[in-house]
A and B are shown apart, each in its own frame.
Chain A
């Protein structure tokens, strides 16, 4: 690994930082194998009540009232897709978003921040490992969804779905970067993560169509990347539309991603300077 005379690390060195951070996080995951099982299985327990609730209230597997809002009477696949994509939100908020606080608890944050590398690459490494974890969980859940809950996947939708998930991860990365930044200064990161989770939970169409919410709630929902990801994926998988029909959702998701990432980096750098001046970096 070469260092330039000015001290700026090479691109290879930065990639190594990303890789090292990824390996470290994977080792932590391996040290807690029960966590892997938890995050794979428990999302099912979160949406299964909605399925039973639907059957009890509707008396069948389809609802005409639901179709008026969602465009499909099949509420079960609707809810399952929502739960799978919501998993990305949870792992990014509680993974990357709280990663800075966890480093403070462990006592390693001072060393990370005083190292000469660009902190962005450390955070990218964290995001990469969390994204890979989320995708592993999502893949397992999708297979179960196909086998047990009537989800249909054709080969034509796979690439568009991969694109949408990639864009979703970018947007969530920006939001979790903002969360990590705020948690540098304000120590109660867990409360912030929970609050953000509530916002996604209520205002994104995870379990019910966006159109079923009051107007003001719909407007708020349209500022969340998960909303567009869910609208796009459900259009492809449930309404059998092609990618051209969802170009608006993809474009708006992309715009949100750029805004979130730029704001996230700006906020992180600003908060880092602020906490270094106040000397409260490693407090928790």
Chain B
């Protein structure tokens, strides 16, 4: 049994990176990546659910298109042309729905990330680590963005096959830039949620 009067030991040096240092930034980025990998590993243990989630956007997009075609009795709308400069309702709905999908995914994924960990039972175990909360939430968001990207790819294939899409290739790069700016803003909003 130890002597009661033994001198207390000095605190042990902590090797965990912290503050505004390159080492800490690297560690936080790695945390974001590892959270993303962890979510993918868990998701792929439910393959049916994964496939369903890739198909889901197509299912929810189709009624908008069918409804639009029924309303105007065809694909091209004069009213839409006056409003936005294009009369092709199918391409218009498709691009809008794709963007909306990323909004929902980012906000939902980030906002729900804490709840998800509570459901797993691992939230306290994560909270007790020295990693920042934001890195953890961004990791979940990264997983969701990639996931949504896969779903959009399938969506594009199906809609193109059934209806055809009138998209200009020279517009893709500027669109991606705007998209990236949007994702930054959404991440901020998602953290708030």
Contacts and interface: CB of A to CB of B under 8 A. Distances in A.
- Do A and B pair up? The answer is yes
Interface residues of A, number: 28
A142 B56 CA distance: 28
Given A63-B72, A66-B70, A202-B63, A57 B80 contact: yes
A205 to B, nearest CB: 10
A241 interface: no
A108 interface: no
Contacts of A50: 64, 67
Interface string B173-189: 00000000000000000
B71 A207 contact: no
A85 to B, nearest CB: 15
B72 A65 contact: yes
A194 interface: yes
B66 A57 contact: no
B49 interface: yes
B63 A191 contact: no
B63 A208 contact: yes
Contacts of B48: 188, 191
A63 B66 contact: no
A213 B79 contact: no
A75 B71 contact: yes
A265 interface: no
Interface in A182-205: 188, 190-191, 194-195, 198, 201-202
A58 B49 contact: no
Contacts of B68: 53, 57
Interface in B43-60: 46, 48-49, 52, 55-56, 59-60
A191 B49 contact: yes
A178 interface: no
B77 interface: yes
A242 to B, nearest CB: 27
Given A65-B73, A188-B49, A190-B49, A198 B66 contact: no
B89 interface: yes
A56 interface: yes
Q: Which of A57, A194, A201 has the most CB of B within 10 A?
A: A57
B160 to A, nearest CB: 19
Nearest to B49: A191
Q: Which of B55, B77, B79, B83 has the most CB of A within 10 A?
A: B79
Interface in B21-56: 46, 48-49, 52, 55-56
Give chain A's interface secondary structure class. helix
A183 B132 CA distance: 39
Interface in B86-142: 89, 93
Nearest to A64: B73
Contact of B63 (A59, A190, A201): A201
B66 A212 contact: yes
B63 A57 contact: no
Contacts of A251: none
A66 B71 contact: yes
Contacts of B80: 56-57
A54 B64 CA distance: 10
Nearest to A68: B73
Given A54-B71, A56-B83, A65-B73, 4 more contacts: A53-B64, A69-B70, A194-B52, A202-B63
13 contacts: A53-B64, A53-B68, A54-B67, A56-B80, A57-B77, A57-B89, A58-B77, A188-B48, A191-B48, A198-B55, A202-B59, A207-B66, A208-B70
* A-B pairs, 5 with minimum CB distance: A65-B73, A59-B79, A212-B70, A57-B77, A198-B59
